A and B are shown apart, each in its own frame.
Chain A
Amino acid sequence: MTPAQIRFLSLWRREVSRFMKIKRQTLGGPLLETFLYISVFGGALGSRIKELHGIEYIVFVIPGLIMMALATNAFTNNSSSILQQKFMGAIHDQLSSPASPRELLLAFCLGGFVRGLIVATLTFIVSIVLTSLGVAHVLVLIPALFLVGFFFANLGVLIGVRAEQFDDVAFAQTFILTPLIFLGGVFYSASLLPQPWETLTRFNPVYYMISLVRYGFVGFTEVNIPLALGALTVATAALFLVNLRLFQSGYKLRS
């Protein structure tokens, strides 16, 4: 391995090590939350709604829950980890190392992505055991999950770097991220909403992410899949470049 590869792997391992040491909070909590959603919406609402667009309601909902688990865990991990390290001053150990801004950023992103992926994968495994969920379009599902995870991992980095107190992170999660996800069609189909909610939903970028993941799992979509994948790719790349610029300039990281 080259020194650059060793640096990157060490930075990434540190991120994974952090969330694995508090796994009851970082993995257990999110898993329980997801299963509560499945129980409430599958058990309670599912018995009333039965089907949406010919798909069993719980199976319709689970792809959105998997996407939500991936997104919120990737986001929370990175925003919290960076802010904690800034508070402890421990980030100085990384910033004063020979690691390049790109290595630092990629390691943070991949750390959050892995946490999101672990929770999403465990949710999927339990879902295929308990429900009839399958995979309809693996070639859409894999890039969609990768892009969603990487997008929210980058968003977490952005918020973590900008944040000066824990309230800043909580604000972003509570007042921006959670409403966007909940109003993005996790639990319902946009085409069944009355106006103006249907049109408003189509302005929510998370709606397209949920649609992509849902299409990958159950084959149902209300959006143009290639266009949504293309737009998500562009958005993820743009966010990565913004973060890279912040790391290069040292914004709120170096004085």
Chain B
Amino acid sequence: MPGTHEKALEIVDLQKRYPNGVEALRGVSIAIEPGDFYGLLGPNGAGKSTLIHCTTGLAQPTGGEIHVFGHDAISDYGEARAAVGLAPQEVNLDQFLTCEETLEFHGGYFGMRKADRQERTKELLETFSLTAKAKERTRALSGGMKRRLILARALMHRPRLLILDEPTAGVDIELRLELWHYVQKINAEGVTILLTTHYLEEADQLCGRIAFIANGEIAAQGTSEDLSRRYDVANLEDAYLALVGRRELSRSHVEGDVAA
């Protein structure tokens, strides 16, 4: 498909059944345009991480198609993966490596030349305030620094599509804002972002388009306003609560109860 109107990410009828019989994805289809900031929201176990793992080669789909900038993620995985940067939900840094080596080796895995790797490593360590920790092993970093390093690693090979799987889970407010400022900046520069998060206000502020996923299926997608209209509620949070069948938790109900 390269050459036609390329989507940054096009997923068609994606299915994933695990060997234990669990159907994590049941025919998911989404299309993300280049430059989009796209949110994928859903409860735990909805299939968000499985979708991300299928896109990045960490899980093998049992049906459907995934194209990254026109490259098939299965048959043309080299080009597809080269276009994607992944900041995973869990801290998965190699504890034997220093911060500098983490970035340097990652660049190597993506075929970057030495001079380019060195320059990019320096640049990212500075950007994420990790220069002073360059020679320290990753296990010596604080939780926030590990998060920064994971994001720096995802950006090391200059991906055109950045996938952020709950990147701010458990981080303090300053780091959270710092990360979002940077991510917004690179999105403005043209990097497409796919974000999963449980912070709905974050998704509301950052994402141009949002998909709700539940039980391995896309329940709805569109702008925050589209989703509110779809569920006949006032805002994204209430739309999400409607999706998961917990309308009674809506702040408008709770505030009403308290006032009464």
Residues of chain A whose beta carbon lies under 8 Å from any beta carbon of chain B: 1-4, 6-7, 9-11, 13-14, 17-18, 21-22, 85, 88-90, 92-100, 250, 254-255
Contacts and interface: CB of A to CB of B under 8 A. Distances in A.
Contact of A96 (B58, B79, B96, B105): B58
B94 A97 contact: no
Given A3-B111, A7-B109, A255-B59, A96 B81 contact: yes
Among all A-B residue pairs, the 3 with the closest Cβ atoms: A10-B108, A3-B111, A89-B92
B90 A10 contact: no
Interface of B: 18, 50, 53, 56-60, 77-79, 81-82, 84, 86, 88, 90-97, 101, 105-113, 153
22 contacts: A3-B110, A6-B108, A6-B111, A7-B108, A7-B109, A7-B111, A10-B105, A11-B109, A14-B94, A14-B105, A17-B96, A88-B93, A88-B94, A89-B90, A89-B92, A90-B94, A90-B95, A95-B57, A97-B110, A98-B111, A254-B59, A255-B50
The A interface is mostly helix, strand or loop, or mixed, namely helix
Contacts of B91: 89
A92 B93 CA distance: 10
B209 to A, nearest CB: 24
Contacts of A95: 57-58
Nearest to B108: A10
A255 B105 contact: no
Contacts of B94: 14, 85, 88, 90, 93
A239 B111 CA distance: 28
Contacts of A100: 78
B92 A88 contact: yes
Contact of A97 (B50, B53, B97, B109): B109
B58 A92 contact: yes
A180 B96 CA distance: 32
A99 B59 contact: no
A1 B57 CA distance: 25
A99 B95 CA distance: 21
B109 A99 contact: yes
Given A95-B57, A250-B60, A13 B92 contact: no
A115 to B, nearest CB: 14
A98 B106 contact: no
Contacts of A17: 96-97, 101, 105
B108 A254 contact: no
Nearest to B150: A93
A93 B153 contact: yes
A4 B111 contact: yes
A250 to B, nearest CB: 6
